[in-house]
Amino acid sequence: MKTFKCEYIWLDGYKPEANLRSKTKIISGKEEPSLKNLPLWSYDGSSTQQAAGSSSDCILKPVKVWKDAGRDNGYLVMCEVFNADLTPHKTNNRAKYEDALDFWFGFEQEYVITKNGLPLGFPTEGYPAPQGKYYCGIGTKNAVARDFVEEHLDLCLACGLDITGINAEVMVGQWEFQLLGKTAKAAADDLWLARYLLFRVAEKHGLEIELHPKPVKGDWNGSGMHANFSNEQMRSVGGEEYFKNILKNLDITHQDHIANYGSMNHERLTGLHETQSIDQFSFGVSDRGASIRIPITTVENEWKGYLEDRRPASNACPYLITSKIVETVTEKELAY
């Protein structure tokens, strides 16, 4: 018999954005934990804005499991939240849409590392040098907390996440990691786990992670979570007409997408700092000031490839992002 430490992870009911929650379940057995043998588990939903104290039990149902490389005999268990009668809880965004097995998503998660309310690299009084040299910068004047970022990268890779890159971003103390996921729900699961590991490493170092889309007001870049996406037809068949129809549908549904792309996003989507204004929709080849960037590689490959949705905020829920993109791309108007 072996003893395993299984960290059950879920999303609470706080608004406008849910918070990650977790607790450890000790399981003994001969087989390693998996979706076949992990049990349901309950928790106090009255402490997470998901139930009243008079009827507080909520149920955790495991939906994906990873080996926890940062913990001896540890496993990371992403869960959906269910009511006591085993119907999906109203805060369970993962259960609200069908998975899309042929979709790939490449998330670009920007975040700011802070301490005592200030981004690392900011003095206690005033501001650091204007942004310009920080993006992909090197040297102590331009890059801060690289060891922290590398530790998170190594942990994600060791846990089996398909992290495809990291870089320092435009504002000092701001970083980004890129994550590839295949199928809509699996991509969103992996992004939530990467965030969970980011917060856990920050705990270890006495740091905080800020996902607000405009953490510092003024002439400083905000934080987004660009979503690169494709389905099998986009990758293998393509065609300019097909892509233009997708872009048309994204235009028509722009406000619906914005409503699901994170709170306070209006502070970031101003038309400045590599963004389009929140009340406008645009697209362009290689245009990082557009709502949707069409990669030059997609055009040069006879319109086969992917698109980049630059609208999602850094605090957005990936279940909402993937569900909206899948819904829009697969609208009946696009059928051939």
Q: Which residues pair with 230 in a beta bridge?
A: 104
φ, ψ of residue 134 in degrees (nearest 5): -80, -35
For residues 282 and 293, give the distance between their C-alpha atoms in angstroms, rounded to a whole number: 9
3 state SS of 207: coil
Bridge partners (DSSP) listed for residue 107: 179, 227
> Judging by beta carbons within 10 Å of its beta carbon (0-12, 13-18, 19+), is residue 259 exposed, middle or buried?
exposed
CA 9 to CA 94: how far, in whole Å? Answer: 13
Q: Which CATH architecture describes the domain 2-95?
A: Roll (3.10)
Its CATH class, for the domain covering 104-330, is: alpha beta
Is it the case that residue 277 has pLDDT exceeding 90? yes
pTM of the model: 0.96
Encode pLDDT of 27-69 as tens digits: 999 999 999 999 999 999 999 999 998 999 999 999 999 999 9
CA distance 40 to 251: 41
Per this entry, what is the length of the chain? Answer: 336
For residue range 130-173, list pLDDT tens digits in order. Answer: 999 999 999 999 999 999 999 999 999 999 999 999 999 999 99
Residue 4 confidence (pLDDT) above 80: yes
| HSE (side-chain half, CA atoms, 13 Å) at 108 | 15
* pLDDT of 193 over the 70 cut: yes
pLDDT in tens, 237-261: 999 999 999 999 999 999 999 999 9
Q: Where in the chain is the domain with CATH 3.10.20.70?
A: 2-95
The CATH 3.30.590.10 portion of the chain extends over 104-330
